[in-house]
Amino acid sequence: MNFTISSPANAVIGRYNLTLQVTSGNKIFSRFLGQFVLLFNPWCPGDDVYMANENERQEYVLNENGIIFVGNAKYIEARGWYYGQFQDHLLNICLTMLDLSLYYRQDPAIDVSRRGDPKYVGRVISSMINGNDNDNGVLLGKWQGSFHSHENPSRWDGSVVILQKWRQGNYKPVQYGQCWVFAGVMCTVLRCLGIPTRLVSNFNSAHDVDRNLSIDKYYDSSGKSLNISKDSTWDYHVWNESWFIRPDLGTSYSGWQVLDATPQEQSR
């Protein structure tokens, strides 16, 4: 007898145990068949992360190599980055990341029940890529001072070493990361889980602290600049976009969704 088992397109991702149970009369026979891992599936039309174009699936899900653009608007530098989402142990590290999050620790049942939703999983991963909020995140951010006792962010050229170092260090944040490093690692994790993901670089990047949608500068009556605004403009900033539908907002908002793992201000 042959059996075909199909999971719902919105099933929760993660590790599963597979058991066969046969009932015959009043007797029940049960046998453990093994374990499997269920991921998001961009090839499945019913999945929230479905991506119709095969070339785009090859690029945003299966490609293990990429380029990250950094520098400034007058001198844009292309840095090679190895995502390595299919390397040994990477899947286990990514699944463990979900179980280490504050979301899981606060309510494991609710957290796991929501893992079929790429919006929720993206939110959890964006929090776990950085360790600046004391949640055993992957990377600690640092932008000033000396890096001599740890890795200078500019030395990283791929995600695999960082994620392996995080696991080997008993899930303590690796030192150090900056925006393109956070984005590179986040791309690895999301592609590993089956969510199509890409990187976006923005030059002369506005950093609006007080959320009034403007970069404010203040001057006194004589024209002297007053250093009272926390707003700033960065040479560049790198973040991620992931592809999934938005039934909560309407079909016009489906497609590429912004996710930013760089620790800045806490969002709601």
The residues annotated with a catalytic role in the active site are: 179, 237, 260
Task: Tell me, rounded to whole angstroms, the distance of Cα 13 from its chain centroid.
Answer: 15
> What is the Cα 119 distance to its own chain's centre?
11
* CB neighbour list of residue 268: distance below 8 Å, 6 or more residues apart: none
